[in-house]
Amino acid sequence: MKYILLMNATKEVFEWYSTWPKEELQANMAFMRKIAAELKDEGVLLQTAGLAWPQQAVIVRAGSDGQPITDGVFPEAKEFLAGYWLIDVESAEQAYKVAARISLAPAPKGTPGTMPLEVREVMDRAPEEMP
Amino acid sequence: MISELINVSIDELLRELTPHVLGSVVRRFRDFSAGEDAVQEASLAAAVQWPRVGIPDNPRAWLTQVAFRRMVDHIRSETARRRRENDVALDASFIVEASASENASSEDDTLVLLFMCCHPELTEGSAIALTLRAVGGLTTAQIANAFMVPEATMAQRISRAKQTIKTSGVPFQLPSAQERGTRLRSVLHVLYLIFSEGYATSTGGELRRDDLAHEAIRLTRIVHKLQPDDTEVAGLLALMLLTDARRNARTSAEGELIPLAQQDRSLWDKQAITEGVALISATLPKGSVGPFQLQAAIAAVHDEANCAEETDWPQILALYDVLKRISDNPMVRLNYAIASAMVFGAPKGLELLSALDNDTRLKNHYRLDAVRAHLLELAGDREMAVVHYRAAAGKTASLPERNYLLTQAARLIAPEESSV
């Protein structure tokens, strides 16, 4: 079963991250490299990517001529995708366990809680006989 | 162990033979698209059979023969499909051996194939993929892997590229003398893109993909051998060698980006530097100086300094000054500003940067912010340097680069630390 683990954050959180002290920042970056390597070694990771920051994020729609119309205005509270891990595991519980491991990514001292991840199953199951 | 070695040498042999075999096939059947598939199939067959039964006495003739058979099969099925009555008297029995007399033309074949694969009507991505397959002899799977896309996607990209070539009706021959110069520039551009992709991958989290860089160097060596008098070909080869020489010093064991000034120069590849310096030194006096030669000369100046402090910045500034005149590229202006700052002080560099603020080509590009941050730091303005390091981090699409830029900013807000 394939799951995608999504790391989301508001612009405020992106900005906060960029102000972390050097050691904490480096610890976090090293953790992210390590967890990706581990999941790859375990044969669980299909793909992972970080996204460029949302400063230049745009909403695109086709105009009446079919050409793109871009809009870059987002509500303050909007959560942007920061990165994702696409994994292949045996059960939802296993997917949650992987998410929990990633959630332990280090943050500066005093940061409340651990990092939240949104877990979604990817529609990849074979269709079953309909009753 | 031994069988592994044999496999490696078979792989190398196949890649070396690919353009020659493909040349024979295309000249015989006048169909680049189908011929390219046939040669790929022949290579795959060889990769399966040779490790078991050994490399044939004449591997090139073997490959040519298998590819010819595939072409005959292809033509037969095409003919059947079209329900044509005419008897296409093609038979595998009359297949020619790749004889020594073919060697002269097959050298040119490589060049003709490169011109085809780097045809200006193709998108850069298609040209890269096609070049790696038809001339580099890589399999679709290998190319897909290098660019981190599914194999089916890459196969489709290659097949569409071949369709474009077919529709454009490019004949399988060298471009006319007038055209050749421009077309060779397209070839060099594609080779440079392959190299850059290998050197600083534009996708994914890892900084290097050495095999692409090495493949680009191998192909550029072939072009240089075929066109020894073209100074830009030599310049590009020298640039690749001199840049690739720093490969092992460019990232830390943890995968962090290390800037030129802080690299451990004992890790640089001396042999590559010697070769690159010799090549560019022999090329520059020939005249007709172009952008690749100038960039190679700049890389040579960097590579020849025993430590960052010994870098001959006035020399680099002079070279960027010439480069700036012949190439209207904002990245060159950025580098010119850095060199100016190193020679005349940070304020001079910052002044030059402000002239670039309205350049639309740099709008939203992280590098203007990154350079400004660096120069502001040199000028002692830590606060503004932090602002621009962070702004650059927000714009880059390279993860190692973003990590580096954020760490630079974090370093500056920790006043007790004096260096990285």
Per-domain residue ranges of chain B: 1-98, 107-168+178-227, 230-305
Q: Does A49 touch chain B (CB under 8 A)?
A: yes
What is the biggest distance separating any 2 CA atoms in chain A, rounded to whole angstroms?
Answer: 59
The answer to the question of residue A131 being in a domain is: no
The answer to the question of residue A130 being in a domain is: no
Min Cα distance B388 → chain A (Å) is 12
Q: What six digits make up the tokens of A4?
A: 């995608």
User: Which of B403, B416, B418, B419 is best to mutate for the A interface (most A CBs within 10 A)?
Assistant: B403
Please give the mean pLDDT across all residues of chain B: 86
The answer to the question of residue A43 being in a domain is: yes
- Looking at residues B286-308, what average pLDDT do you find? 95
Cα distances (angstroms) measured from residue A13 to each of A17, A30, A32, B12, B364: 6, 19, 17, 50, 21
pLDDT at B403: 93
Q: Which of B174, B193, B194 is nearest to B184 (CA)?
A: B174
Min Cα distance B181 → chain A (Å) is 37
- For residue B255, the chain A residues in CB contact (below 8 A) are 33
The H or E element spanning position B399 is helix B399-413
Q: Regarding predicted confidence, which is higher, B331 or B7?
A: B331
pLDDT at B88: 45
Confidence of residue B232 (pLDDT cuts 50, 70, 90): very high
Q: Does A70 touch chain B (CB under 8 A)?
A: no
Q: Does A22 touch chain B (CB under 8 A)?
A: yes
Strand order through the sheet with A45-50:
A45-50, A79-88, A2-10, A118-121
Confidence of residue B358 (pLDDT cuts 50, 70, 90): confident
**Closest chain A CA to residue B411:** A22
For residue B417, is pLDDT > 70? no
The residue with tokens 């011109």 is B115
Q: Does B397 touch chain A (CB under 8 A)?
A: yes
Q: Are B83 and B150 in contact (CB under 8 A)?
A: no
Name, in order, each residue with C-beta under 8 angstroms of B100's C-beta and a sequence gap of 6 or more.
none
Q: Which residues constitute the domain of residue A115? A: 2-121
Confidence of residue B209 (pLDDT cuts 50, 70, 90): low
Q: What six digits make up the tokens of B225?
A: 């051998």
The CATH number assigned to the domain holding A56 equals 3.30.70.1060
Instruction: Establish, for the pair of chains A and B, how many residue pairs have beta carbons separated by less than 8 Å.
Output: 48
Confidence of residue B175 (pLDDT cuts 50, 70, 90): confident
Alpha helices in A1-131, H assignment, sequence order: 11-17, 22-41, 92-103
pLDDT at A55: 87
Q: Regarding predicted confidence, which is higher, B169 or B38?
A: B38
pLDDT at B98: 42
Inter-chain touch B410–A20, beta carbons under 8 Å: yes
Inter-chain touch A55–B395, beta carbons under 8 Å: yes
A61 forms beta bridges with A69
Cα dihedral value B369, A83, B403, B214, nearest 10:
-100
For residue B135, is pLDDT > 80? yes
CA atoms within 13 A on the CB side of B418: 0
In this structure, of A44-58, B171-185, B261-275, the range with the lowest mean pLDDT score is B171-185
Identity of the residue in B204, B364, B409 whose CB atom sits nearest the CB atom of A56:
B364
Q: Does B205 touch chain A (CB under 8 A)?
A: yes
For residue B1, is pLDDT > 60? no
Tell me if residue B256 falls in helix, strand or coil. coil
- Looking at residues A36-64, what average pLDDT do you find? 93
The 3-state DSSP composition of chain A as helix, strand, coil percent (nearest 5) reads 30, 30, 40
pLDDT at B90: 45
Q: Are B144 and B153 in contact (CB under 8 A)?
A: yes
Q: What six digits make up the tokens of B69?
A: 């058979």
Q: Is B310 exposed, middle or buried (0-12, 13-18, 19+ CB in 10 A)?
A: exposed
Does the predicted TM-score (pTM) go above 0.90? no
C-alpha to C-alpha distance for B177 and B94, rounded to whole angstroms = 36
- For residue B204, the chain A residues in CB contact (below 8 A) are 49
Confidence of residue B246 (pLDDT cuts 50, 70, 90): very high
For residue B326, is pLDDT > 70? yes
Inter-chain touch B407–A26, beta carbons under 8 Å: yes
The answer to the question of residue A25 being in a domain is: yes
Q: Does B150 touch chain A (CB under 8 A)?
A: no
Q: Regarding predicted confidence, which is higher, B147 or B343?
A: B343
Min Cα distance B416 → chain A (Å) is 12
Other residues' Cβ atoms within 10 Å of the Cβ of residue B272: 19
Inter-chain touch A53–B410, beta carbons under 8 Å: no
- Looking at residues A31-40, what average pLDDT do you find? 93
Identity of the residue in A21, A30, A36 whose CB atom sits nearest the CB atom of B410:
A21
Other residues' Cβ atoms within 10 Å of the Cβ of residue B178: 7
User: Which of A19, A22, A35 is best to mutate for the B interface (most B CBs within 10 A)?
Assistant: A22
Q: Which amino acid is at A43?
A: G
- Looking at residues B210-221, what average pLDDT do you find? 88
For residue A92, is pLDDT > 70? yes
C-alpha to C-alpha distance for B411 and B246, rounded to whole angstroms = 25
pLDDT at B97: 42
* A58 Ramachandran zone, left/alpha/beta (phi>0; psi -120 to 50): beta
Inter-chain touch A25–B390, beta carbons under 8 Å: no
For residue B359, is pLDDT > 60? yes
- Looking at residues A1-12, what average pLDDT do you find? 96
Number of domains in chain A: 1
For residue B236, is pLDDT > 70? yes
Identity of the residue in A26, A30, A55 whose CB atom sits nearest the CB atom of B394:
A55
* Dihedral sign, Cα of residue B25, residue B30, residue B33, residue B34: negative
Q: Are B312 and B283 in contact (CB under 8 A)?
A: no
Cα dihedral value B243, B245, B251, B254, nearest 10:
150
For residue B126, is pLDDT > 70? yes
- Looking at residues B319-341, what average pLDDT do you find? 94
Q: Regarding predicted confidence, which is higher, B388 or B122?
A: B388
Q: Are B359 and B330 in contact (CB under 8 A)?
A: yes
Q: What percent of chain B has pLDDT over 70?
A: 88
Residue A8 — φ and ψ, nearest 5°? Answer: -115, 155
pLDDT at A97: 98
pLDDT tens digit sequence for B56-92: 999 999 999 999 999 999 888 887 777 544 444 444 4
The answer to the question of residue A126 being in a domain is: no
Cα distances (angstroms) measured from residue B227 to each of A10, B181, B237, B251: 55, 11, 12, 34
